[in-house]
């Protein structure tokens, strides 16, 4: 069974088109681009660039498995698509907008470490009382 993954490339050179992106993923043996949505923007120096949302049908390859692993762990990977010119894409896992805030809230809730619980409060009170007794014993 083939596996699909949704990715996001925030910066693609203005000279690169959809066919170049599709061909790069194929020739690098990563996957077949089954959906691509590219948007053109102009950078602060007036040069065009693109960003893209892509759905990849992953091939059964080492690089494809590495991409999948990175998307579910660090959620970012650099993929060199033109070694001769040292060109790469920063690839990020695409999380649909409606799931983003829910994921952020869930991560925050799951990673909260309570400041203290009832048992910790009781332990601190007992420790305070013992220190108070020691202090009064040395003063009096």
Q: Residue 67: what are its φ and ψ, rounded to 5°?
A: -60, -50
* Six-digit token string for 90: 């920063």
Q: Please list the helix, strand and coil fractions of the chain in percent, rounded to the nearest 5, in that order.
A: 40, 35, 25
Structure confidence at residue 63 (pLDDT): 94
**One-character DSSP codes across 26-42:** HHTTSEEEEEEEEEEEE
Specify the number of domains making up the chain. Answer: 2
Q: Are residues 19 and 33 in the same domain?
A: yes
Q: Are residues 87 and 112 in the same domain?
A: no
Q: Are residues 111 and 134 in the same domain?
A: yes
Looking up tokens 């990563």 gives 30
Q: Are residues 35 and 77 in the same domain?
A: yes
Q: Are residues 36 and 77 in the same domain?
A: yes
Give the pLDDT band (50/70/90) at residue 124: confident
Q: Are residues 48 and 89 in the same domain?
A: yes
Range of the domain at 103: 99-139
Q: Are residues 86 and 25 in the same domain?
A: yes
Q: Are residues 103 and 89 in the same domain?
A: no
Q: What's the average model confidence in pLDDT over 133-138?
A: 83
Q: Are residues 32 and 65 in the same domain?
A: yes
* pLDDT tens by residue, 14-46: 999 999 999 999 999 999 999 999 999 999 999
How many whole angstroms separate alpha carbon 60 and alpha carbon 80?
A: 19
Structure confidence at residue 137 (pLDDT): 83
How many whole angstroms separate alpha carbon 60 and alpha carbon 56?
A: 12
| pTM of the shown model | 0.68
Q: Are residues 33 and 51 in the same domain?
A: yes
Q: Are residues 10 and 79 in the same domain?
A: yes
């Amino acid at each position: 069974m083939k596996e699909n993954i949704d990715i996001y490339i925030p910066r693609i050179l203005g000279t690169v088109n959809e066919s170049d992106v599709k061909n790069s993923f194929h020739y690098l043996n990563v996957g077949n681009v089954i959906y691509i949505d590219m948007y053109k923007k102009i950078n602060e120096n007036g040069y065009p660039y693109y960003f893209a949302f892509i759905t990849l049908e992953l091939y059964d390859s080492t690089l494809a498995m590495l991409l999948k692993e990175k998307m579910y762990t660090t959620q970012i990977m650099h993929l060199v698509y033109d070694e001769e010119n040292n060109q790469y894409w920063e690839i990020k896992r695409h999380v649909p907008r409606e799931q983003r805030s829910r994921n952020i809230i869930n991560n925050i809730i799951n990673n909260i470490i309570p400041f203290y619980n009832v048992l910790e409060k009781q332990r601190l009170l007992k420790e305070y009382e013992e220190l108070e007794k020691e202090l009064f014993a040395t003063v009096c």
